[in-house]
């Protein structure tokens, strides 16, 4: 008889947030695939669950996925957990789920704790339309692009050591944009700091917060603020194109040097030339 995969979300901080269905699945599983066997063992010991633990993380996903699918095809039930929250959501698991689907193995997903959803609700920002960006990019140009995308509320994970720089970029884009920094959700030192981008940038500028951070940002119009001038490096990009460089690759180079969005640089150059892609290094 073919086994199955049960995707089990685990508490993001407070062990009491585990659901009864997840505990039942962990007790009944033949194999529990987890990121860190030591961390998962703490949860299992707390509630008297056993089962064989198998390390399944980003460094061995491809190899372990095949072995786990083979065990499920022989009848085993495998429970998949991450260190915290829902597997696959910025955590390992995608490779295994895809492998199960390809092999015709049943996949059951249980509901449970999610840092993204908890932060979205706690932020007091609109939740009718939102998007999840995972971990924010480190490169300044890519970061500006993500933060400037139009749409609903943005929810993202951020390192506490990079939070100040991210908030500074957000404040440059729109200082009045509402946001919330959600720290250590469900834990003893839980904190939700709400305010404008400029207020939060000033608050976290001097000292990085401790613990896990989820950043929630109010929706963007996707248009630059009224007082936002031409992008940094526009003159340099224009000179490169005048010297014969192709516009888009040159915009990428200037983006790396200035931290400005390559797309914004290209659009600004296009606008400066009357909206025409002609005479731009042969690239429209």
In a domain, 262, yes or no: no
- Identify whether residues 120 and 83 lie together within a single domain: no
- Say which CATH number the domain at 91 has: 3.40.1010.10
**Cross-strand pairs, 4:** 77, 106
pLDDT, tens digit only, all 284 positions of the chain:
689 999 999 999 999 999 999 999 999 999 999 999 999 999 999 999 988 999 999 999 999 999 999 999 999 999 999 999 999 999 999 999 999 999 999 999 999 999 999 999 999 999 999 999 999 999 988 999 999 998 899 999 999 999 999 999 999 999 999 999 999 999 999 999 999 999 999 999 988 899 999 999 999 765 554 445 677 788 889 999 999 999 989 988 988 888 777 877 888 888 777 655 544 554 43
Q: What is the H or E stretch that residue 77 is in? A: strand 77-80
**How far is the C-alpha of 201 from the C-alpha of 175, rounded, in Å?**
9
In a domain, 141, yes or no: yes
- Identify whether residues 128 and 101 lie together within a single domain: no
Boundaries of domain holding 37: 4-109
Write out the two tokens for 52: 């064989």
In a domain, 281, yes or no: no
Q: Using one digit for the tens of pLDDT, what is the confidence trace for 172-222?
A: 999 999 999 999 999 999 999 999 999 999 999 988 899 999 999 999 765
- Say which CATH number the domain at 166 has: 3.30.950.10
Q: Which of 158, 193, 217 is the last residue of a domain?
A: 217
How many domains in the chain? 2
Q: Which of 109, 127, 159 is the last residue of a domain?
A: 109
Instruction: Look at the chain and count its residues.
Output: 284
Q: What is the H or E stretch that residue 153 is in? A: strand 153-158
**Cross-strand pairs, 80:** 7, 33
Q: Which of 202, 217, 232 is the last residue of a domain?
A: 217
- Helix 94-103 with 61-73: angle, nearest 10 deg: 40
- Identify whether residues 119 and 74 lie together within a single domain: no
**How far is the C-alpha of 96 from the C-alpha of 62, rounded, in Å?**
8
Give the pLDDT score at 41.
96
- Identify whether residues 39 and 97 lie together within a single domain: yes
């Amino acid at each position: 008889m073919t086994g199955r995969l049960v995707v089990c979300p685990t508490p993001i901080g407070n062990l009491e947030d585990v659901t009864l269905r997840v505990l039942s699945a962990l007790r009944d599983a033949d194999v529990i695939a987890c990121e860190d066997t030591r961390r998962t063992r703490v949860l299992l010991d707390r509630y008297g669950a056993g089962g064989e633990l198998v390390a399944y993380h980003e460094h061995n996903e491809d190899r372990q996925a095949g072995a786990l699918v083979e065990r499920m095809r022989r009848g085993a039930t495998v429970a998949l957990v991450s260190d915290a929250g829902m597997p696959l959501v910025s955590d390992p698991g995608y490779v295994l789920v895809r492998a199960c689907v390809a092999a015709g193995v049943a996949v059951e997903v249980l509901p449970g704790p999610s840092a993204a959803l908890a932060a979205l609700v706690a932020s007091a920002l609109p939740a009718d339309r939102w998007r999840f960006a995972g971990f924010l990019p480190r490169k300044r140009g890519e970061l500006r692009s993500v933060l400037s995308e139009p749409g609903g509320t943005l929810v993202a994970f951020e390192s506490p050591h990079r939070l100040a720089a991210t908030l500074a970029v957000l404040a440059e884009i729109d200082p009045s944009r509402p946001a919330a920094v959600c720290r250590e959700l469900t834990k003893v030192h839980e904190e939700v700091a709400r305010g404008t981008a400029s207020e939060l940038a000033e608050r976290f500028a001097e000292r990085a917060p401790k613990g896990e951070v989820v950043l929630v940002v109010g929706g963007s119009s996707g248009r630059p603020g009224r007082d936002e001038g031409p992008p940094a490096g526009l003159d340099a990009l224009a000179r490169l194109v005048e010297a014969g460089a192709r516009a888009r690759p040159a915009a990428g180079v200037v983006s790396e040097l200035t931290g400005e969005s390559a797309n914004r640089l290209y659009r600004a150059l296009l606008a400066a030339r009357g909206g025409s892609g002609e005479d731009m290094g042969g690239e429209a």
